[in-house]
Amino acid sequence: MVFKTKEEAYNFLVSAGIIRPNERKLEGAEKNEMWLILQLIESTHSTNNQRFITEHYTYGDKGYQVTFFDEKDFEIVEISK
If you ran DSSP here, which 8-state letter would residue 35 be given?
H
Amino acid at 57: Y
Burial of 66 (0-12, 13-18, 19+ CB in 10 A): buried
* pTM exceeding 0.85: no
In tens, the pLDDT along 28-77 reads 999 999 999 999 999 999 999 888 999 999 999 999 999 999 878 999 99
